[in-house]
Amino acid sequence: MSLKLIYFKMRALAEAPQMLMHCYDIDYQYLMSWEHFDDVWANVKPTITFQQLPMLEVDGEAQICQSVAILQYLENRAGIAISDPVKAAQASAILQSAQELFAPLNPAINFAIGDDFMAKKEAMRPSLSGRFSDLARCLESGRGKFFTDDTARAAEFATYHHLDLSKLLDPSLVQEFPRLMAFISDMESLPGMASYLSKRPKLIDVGTAPKLVIEDVAHPTGMKKT
Ligand SMILES: N[C@@H](CCC(=O)N[C@@H](CS)C(=O)NCC(=O)O)C(=O)O
């Protein structure tokens, strides 16, 4: 079985799937849209089921779009899906609520610059704090390290990604939530996580001229080949 994860030059919706695959030893290939399709995004977009990426291609045939669906498929592949229907639905609610942090946080970190970045940063503070508080409460109400128990699944990887990204906006945002700080530390202790975090492309010059450093070359973030 082969897995290809197709996305762009940005640190956003392909992070949680990659963390999950690293932590559960699932082999995959990461490809930029232009590498996989050998064409510019404007031509590729109308051919994709929901006209957006990421997309996971399974065995060169099936294509799975939508980051939540990709994560849930990978949970099954990793053998960590929750069998109890109520607990599974509750974990799915947490996953979807974590993914709602995507916008405006991820686009701002990856693309916004100058005054626009500063304005977006200030505007999103209350909504980020509100959702961080909800997620902290979910963790506090459980008995394990993570939302459902002591196993990191889709909801945990998605939550970790957005919390981690928020540090590039303002590290003090998440520091206001001790339960989230403990969660971050537990996630970073998972086997496979430290090596993924140290090897992934660095995101630099956030807020001024964001770039991803891929194989020692700094590329402007975006949907174009550079
Ligand atoms: N709900 C989708 C959102 C996907 C999405 O917003 N993808 C953006 C990149 S992060 C995209 O494909 N942008 C290009 C476009 O819309 O043309 C998911 O969770 O996968």
18-28 residue pLDDT tens: 999 999 999 99
Q: Report how far ligand 1's centroid is from the alpha carbon of 102 (Å).
A: 10
Residue nearest to atom 12 of ligand 1 (CA): 52
Ligand 1 site residues (CB inside 6 A) read 12-13, 45, 52-54, 66-67, 223
Q: What is the pTM of this model?
A: 0.98
Q: Report how far ligand 1's centroid is from the alpha carbon of 151 (Å).
A: 28
Name 3's bridge partners.
58
Q: How far is 137 from 123, CA to CA, in rounded Å?
A: 23
Give me the pLDDT at residue 64, please. Answer: 98
**pLDDT classification of 1: cutoffs 50, 70, 90:** confident
Give me the pLDDT at residue 167, please. Answer: 98
For every residue of 105-142, DSSP letters joined together read HHHHHHH-BHHHHHHHHHHHHHHHHHHHHHHHHHHHHS
Give me the pLDDT at residue 155, please. Answer: 98
For the chain, domains (ranges, CATH) are 3-79+196-220 (3.40.30.10), 85-190 (1.20.1050.10)
Ligand 1 closest atom vs CA 65: 20
